[in-house]
Chain A
Amino acid sequence: MKKILAVFVVGLLTVGMLFAAGSREPQVQAPSLDLQSASWNEIVDAAKAEGQVIFYAWYFPDYFREAAEDFEAEYGIRVNLVIGDQTANFNKVIAEQNRAVGTVDAMVVGGQWVKTTLDLGLFYGPLQNIIPDAEHLAPALWEMQEGVLTNGYLTPLHRNQTGILYDPQRVSNPPQTFTELEAWIDANPRQFGFNDPSRGGSGQSFVHTVIHHVAGGLEQYVGDEEVDPAKVANWNLVWDWFNQRKDKLTFTVSNNDSIVRINDGEMAMTFGWDDNVQDMINRGNIFSRARMYIPEMGAAGGGDTMGILHNAPNPAAAALFIHHLTTVEQQRKKFEMVGAYPARIDIEMEGTLLSEEDRANNALAWFPAPYKDLMISDFVRNVLMQQ
């Protein structure tokens, strides 16, 4: 009977393996057009022939829905829009990475996933030479996203920026310099907080700023492709800075948690993302008196981008839709609806959460990704683990 059992198990395992491995070659349609060599008019025609585009994002359902409706009205191409979850979106395209033709045309790419997607070669590119108006989109974001070189593969969608979010009823004189922040934390224990950097970018940005001030400036790391041990030797000063203030800082579990705790009155000041905060204000999830600024001590920023999957079923329509989202009209509309700071550099904005002077003077660029990874794991090990 043992034999029957063994045959039974092995047989089923084999069949399962065959199913998993045997990538059913779907109706492989020859790429309708080589996007790299085609003229833009040819791409538009090909897009109309494809007839639909499948686009994945995970936020702003209101804006993307209306943008899709505009696109359908203008080109007669149907947009199959899925607003999912960031992790789930990437899990999906990774699961489909080996299929000749996938089910996703284009998607929004957030900072945390840039490195993974480029390592796995998920995206088609470069797009910088294909998308019209590429030169009007933030050049820094075309080149690099959150410390990872993207080489024109990912098209800027909007720029976002971390800064200090505070409740003006409880903070009359928000700190600008690093020394002022230290004094403020001493005077108002547990009223300043930031999230665990392994669970959200705004916490990463705060630790990044502390490194900037305590470990001797960010300039030294620029251009490194690997961590230089000599340059991180003094990071223990950074961990000491946190450990000495442990009882006066509040650690939160996510970007959102920080904002929620401001709304709940537990904290008065935190590091946050401007687009995140604006969205929360628009949806009534935090009081509208909330103010945000980029302090003189500096805070990192970046942006979200869009990419076309290497196995997109409708690549031309995807390119056209990405172009549509980066037009002046749509960038403006997005700002008006959800308050996301445009990726276009040729339009003037009024009523932004963060002032233009702050953006011009105080925004920092992330140090290279390897340092960021080390920063996060070292923070967990040297600060969180020691509690």
Chain B
Amino acid sequence: MSAIIETQAGTPLHVRQAKRKKQFYILLTAFFVAVQIIWVGIPIFMAVMWSLVDPANPWSFPDILPQSFSFEPWKFVFRYTNIVRALRTSYTVAPLAVLLSFVLSLPTAYVLGRKRVPGRKFFMLIVLLPIIMPGMVVALFLSRVFAGIGLSQTFFGLVLAHTLMGMPYMVRVLTTSFASIPQDVIDAAENLGAGTWVKIREIFLPMIRPGLLAGMIFAFVTSIEEFNLTFVIGTPTYETIPTILFSFMGYNFIRTNASVVALIMMAPNIVMLFIVERFLKSDYLAASLGKM
């Protein structure tokens, strides 16, 4: 049967099917990319446009695009705000907070994901509290705890604060990753005589990698965006980017300058994202043992 088809079409059926399937996926990818460029691109394009509005020649109805462009909003932000200092603070605190939350979360996530400890459900709720707490409670009460320990106005305090706010994501995502490691893989490794360290390095770490990447991105973004707590315990000694962003987005909503700060805030993140993705070559998904 297959021989007949082979002679008819010149290529085996399954090869043609695979080829068609591949073409279908390429088309689908192209479609998604096009949709994403509109979906994400247009709002960002708007931000860029707003950041280039000439104060002397405002952008108003019925203009679809600004009539003239200028770098005034950019100059304004660099001249009158502490944006450079804030950038430096934000981008030194964030990696440290990510690292610390990873280190602190790992054992907890392991136990919550793989051990049936009494009170597990309760602990799973507790770890969510930092993000459930309303911003006002964070600003008014949580900040007092930091001040009470003497962490207010210190760099370490800032790192701890950002760690705390990012932990819920890290712990819960890692817990799910740990929980989804098949027991037979671990058993097999143990049967082969793998020690704790080998298990961690050869099984746990590779298998939680997708979750870890997600958790790290979330912790990083949380740190970059954290405002309520940072403002109370950090300023005036330390200022982070959201402080400057909010100064343009609060009572006086200055869309031009706010767009500048937002773009300054986003740019390093997006560049970093592309580097990380390139570095991991999108194989981080396939790398997990689930695809073996």
CB neighbours of A22 from chain B (8 A): 148
User: B145 near A24 (CB under 8 angstroms)?
Assistant: no
User: B148 near A88 (CB under 8 angstroms)?
Assistant: no
A122–B155 Cα gap in the complex (Å)?
27
Could you say which of B143, B148, B254 contacts A280, with CB atoms under 8 Å apart? B254
In the complex, whether B62 has a CB less than 8 A from a CB of chain A is yes
In the complex, whether B57 has a CB less than 8 A from a CB of chain A is yes
A46–B119 Cα gap in the complex (Å)?
58
Of the 9-residue stretches A92-100, A188-196, A346-354, which lies at the interface with chain B? A92-100
CB neighbours of A80 from chain B (8 A): 236
Using a CB-CB cutoff of 8 Å, which residues 7-29 of chain A contact chain B? 16, 18-24
User: B55 near A83 (CB under 8 angstroms)?
Assistant: no
Given contacts A92-B232, A264-B61, contact A24 B254 (CB under 8 A): no
A325–B283 Cα gap in the complex (Å)?
59
User: B251 near A59 (CB under 8 angstroms)?
Assistant: yes
Chain A to chain B: the 7 pairs with minimum beta-carbon distance, closest first: A265-B61, A284-B55, A256-B253, A91-B139, A85-B246, A85-B250, A19-B148
CB neighbours of B251 from chain A (8 A): 58-59, 85-86, 110, 255-256, 276
Interface flags, B46-68, vs A, CB<8A=1, else 0 = 00000001111111111000000
Extra 6 A-B pairs, beta carbons < 8 Å, given A86-B250, A88-B227 = A62-B76, A84-B235, A91-B232, A279-B252, A284-B57, A285-B255
* Interface size, chain B (Cβ < 8 Å): 53
User: A288 near B58 (CB under 8 angstroms)?
Assistant: yes
In the complex, whether A104 has a CB less than 8 A from a CB of chain B is yes
In the complex, whether B168 has a CB less than 8 A from a CB of chain A is no
Q: Can you list 22 A-B contacts with CB-CB less than 8 angstroms, sorted by A residue number?
A: A2-B118, A18-B148, A19-B145, A19-B148, A21-B148, A56-B236, A59-B250, A84-B231, A84-B235, A85-B249, A87-B250, A88-B228, A92-B143, A92-B231, A103-B236, A265-B61, A283-B254, A284-B54, A284-B58, A286-B58, A286-B60, A287-B60
A19–B231 Cα gap in the complex (Å)?
20
A62–B75 Cα gap in the complex (Å)?
11
- Tally the A-B contacts, defined by beta carbons under 8 Å: 155
Using a CB-CB cutoff of 8 Å, which residues 241-274 of chain A contact chain B? 254-256, 260, 263-265
In the complex, whether B215 has a CB less than 8 A from a CB of chain A is no
Interface flags, A128-142, vs B, CB<8A=1, else 0 = 000000000000000
In the complex, whether B209 has a CB less than 8 A from a CB of chain A is no
Given contacts A82-B235, A88-B228, contact A59 B56 (CB under 8 A): no
Residue of A nearest to B257 (CB): A283
In the complex, whether B113 has a CB less than 8 A from a CB of chain A is no
In the complex, whether B163 has a CB less than 8 A from a CB of chain A is no
Using a CB-CB cutoff of 8 Å, which residues 55-92 of chain B contact chain A? 55-62, 72-73, 76, 79-81
> Which of A2, A58, A286 is packed against the most chain B CB atoms within 10 Å?
A58
User: A20 near B236 (CB under 8 angstroms)?
Assistant: no
A334–B76 Cα gap in the complex (Å)?
16
In the complex, whether B32 has a CB less than 8 A from a CB of chain A is no
User: B150 near A24 (CB under 8 angstroms)?
Assistant: yes
In the complex, whether B239 has a CB less than 8 A from a CB of chain A is yes
